[in-house]
Structure 1
Amino acid sequence: MTRPVLALLTNVPIGPRLVGGFFLIALICAFVGYWGVRSMNKVNAMLTNSSTNLVPSIYAISKMRAGVLTAQRAERTTLMAIRAKDEGVRLSTVSAKETAWRNIREGTAEYEALPMTDREKHLWAQLLPRFDEWKRDYDASETAVRAGELDRAERIIYSEIPNATRLNELLSELIECQNEQAKAQQDQAVELHTSTQATLWSISAVGVLGAVALGVVLTVSVTRPLGRAMTVLEAVAKGDLTQRAEIRSRDEVGRVGHALDTAIGVLQTARERDAYYASQIAAFGRVQAVVEFELDGTVANANPNFLQMMGYSIEEARGHHHSMFVPEAERNSPAYREFWARLARGEYQTGEFRRVGRGGKEIWTRGAYFAILDLNGKPYKVVKYVTDVTHLKKIETSLEQTVESLAGSARELTAVSQQMAANAEQTANQANVASGAAEQVSEHIGTVAAGTEEMGASIKEIAKNANDAAKVATTAVKVAEKTNATIAKLGESSTEIGNVVKVITSIAQQTNLLALNATIEAARAGEAGKGFAVVANEVKELAKQTARATEDISRKIEAIQTDTRGAVEAIGQIGKIINQINDIQNSIASAVEQQTATTGEMSRNVSEAAHGSGEIALNITGVAQAARSTTEGANDTKLAADELARMAIGLQQLVAQLKV
């Protein structure tokens, strides 16, 4: 029976299938809830009756009964306290009476406000006359007590005992009536709880069994084909695309199985296509450098060709930014930031790029940057295919420089040819003039030769006089040196005389002191020493004169020393000047000797020039003819230079077209 049910369920969509199962469970739950709510409403009604009627009625009657009993006790206690003259007890009964009557009034009002059963109404109708009669007797006894008629009050109290007893009995019967109602409701609640519990357990058991059975059937109807689909998906995850789900049901799982089989077929086709493309890319990567970047420019991977070209290993390159391959001046430029911004937007970049390899090596590349899109069409990485064109760039640069040099040389050759033409024409003109001048030169050279011989004789005389002057200067130098030595000795002698004068000055000072001492001693001797004092005074005057004379000699010696130093310096200067004169005379003598030799050579050269000037006149005519030939050659050179310039321009255009 299970298989037909499963076959039936698998043809029903999972949504209605699950909704039906949940609806059945919800129906069971709804019935359970309804029965539970029905029972709870009954219990709630009982509880409401208890809380709003029975309990307040019992509380109100109990309050009324407590008030009556308290008033009766206080009535008797007041009478006994007055007779015992116990004022404290009497005053306490006053407060008790007020509380009792307040409870009686509140209990009566609360009970009358509540609903009553027929029995309660019957008991209440009997209680009210009894209460009025008891209250009338109570008021009469209170009046007698206030009037001091204690015996009369006591008789009234004893006379009301039967009525008060009946009043208490009626109140007790009312309380008992409320208790009976509460007991009856409790019995009903217990019975309702028992029946509801049995019903709910039965319904719940049926619902649980039905839900389990329905859940098993629904689960099997879904999990069995899903298990088959999962097995196939796991095989696909492992790379096995030969498995198929082959689910024949018409529900969602069946459609998923059919879609899975279709997707596996598409994947198998895509794998074959990817294998084909991968083989092409691998072959392409073996001959070209390839590098992958994240969208922010971080290196993700690179093939060996790229790493070899840049000089890095994959560990050194991976994780670093593309800027490590870019010249430093370009890294922070707006153009470089825009370059990566365009790639991040999915655009591509192609062209020649100047890059930097390990150690700052300049590398020129030609390639293309492509943004790789994900399944949603959004860029998620960048791939660059690049070729090293550094050697081509060097060849191109060298060729450009060569072409530029060739063009410059052509321009220079054109200018030189023009200048040659002009110079050749001038040469021709000057050659004609030089031909006439050469004849005049030949005539004048003869005159120069004669003058040269006379100048040679004069130079010989000058050389003889210069040698004599040099000898005199040498003698003057020697005499000046001797004079300088003599004056130096004179300076030394004056210095020694100065030293002697200093000694004499010292002796004069000592003599002056001795004369002063002698004068002092003569003064002490009185008359006996007057003659000695005269002698001492004379000695003193002589010492002063000696001191003045030595000072005068010292000044003169200093003047002599000063003059001697000046003479020494002057003679030294004279010696230097004489040495300079001697050097100059020697130089003149040497120059005259050289001039003599030069003059002799000039004489010989002038003779030869006189002989060669005639030949010059003959050769200048040939120069004029050669200049005319040079003019014609310069014109031909200009034409060739113009043709060379045109060839250089064409070569530059060709190089521009051949740029990689």
Structure 2
Amino acid sequence: MSSTSSSPRRFGNIRVGRRLGLAFGAIGGLVLLSAGAGLLAVSEQREIADDLTAVGGVLQEAETARFQIADVSGWQGLVLTDVAAFGPQVGLASDAYNRAGLLESKKAVYEWLDGVDTDAMDADEKAAWSELRPAWDFYFEMDDQVVAWISDGSPEGFRTAVESINGGEAGKGYGIILDIADRVETSAGERVEQLQVDQLDAQERATVLLGVVGALAVVLAALLAVTVSRSVVRPLGRVTGALEALAKGDLTVEPHVRTRDEVGRMAAALTTAQENLRSLIGSVVSSADAVAASSEELSASAGQIASSAEETSAQAGVVSSAADEVTRSVQTVAAGAEQMGASIREISQNAAEASEVAARAVTAAETTTATVAKLGESSAEIGNVVKVITSIAEQT
């Protein structure tokens, strides 16, 4: 189970570009495999076709051997006809038409034998073909013997030649050559039939091979395409879902992509961004709470300041009353001072009359004493007012 899950993960860790390159390379390999199978089938077909062509050449050579013996024997019969009609001197002359044709055919036979390519023949065919030249040599030896028999123009010689050609030694070479041609032709014909069967079998194998390889290539290409597309599309879908949730303000939806390709790195960056945003929003919320608490503290301080202002206002009223009282006291002291000055002047003026006015002086002294005592009280009150003002000044 772990190996099964780790293989797609390892595949997902490959970069997307390289992954696509591997996919296209694999598909190209499958195409090359299909092409190779097709070329193999074509090569086999071509090889069989070449073999058929070569064996067809062997058949053609066998047919040529048949044609050559028929041609030479035909000329031989015409020569016999000329000898019977015109005599041996005319019929056997080298420039006689039929005799010249036979000699030309003889020359053509040996030229043909020298040019025959036996590479396409099998061992049996080569063995049979090796008997062909001696058979032709025997045939032309017997032809020379036939010429010797008919050259004297006697009926006995002509009869001997005809009997030898029709069933004797002179005709034996004809039969040997035909037998060699038949054997080669039969063997080559069987090979052609077998090659045709092999060709049909090769065509069937090629059809099956191309069908199997083609189907396998299509299936593997489809599986590869699905695997590659899923390894890219699914992670992209998760990243897209996380981004859509982020656009709606939901920071809890994570992409959950663990690959190390471009999509994986993008998902990791998105996860980091979500964590940072959550941390930032938490910090903002904490700051907002701190600001709210500070606002409450400020409101309480503002209330205390207002109370202090009211108390200060009240104390200012007290200070104002005390100041008024001090003013009145000062005015009283000033009046007492003026009265004391008048008394002193009066004492100075009436020094002579001191004795007379002693009683009045004693009275005046008592009055002055009372006034001074009152002045002392006023001074004490002024000192208290000054202390209050000093205390208020220190509070403010």
Q: TM-score, normalised by structure 2?
A: 0.49
Please identify which structure carries the higher helix content. Answer: 2
Please identify which structure carries the higher strand content. Answer: 1
Q: Which has the higher contact order (CA 8 A, sep 6+)?
A: 2
Q: TM-score, normalised by structure 1?
A: 0.32
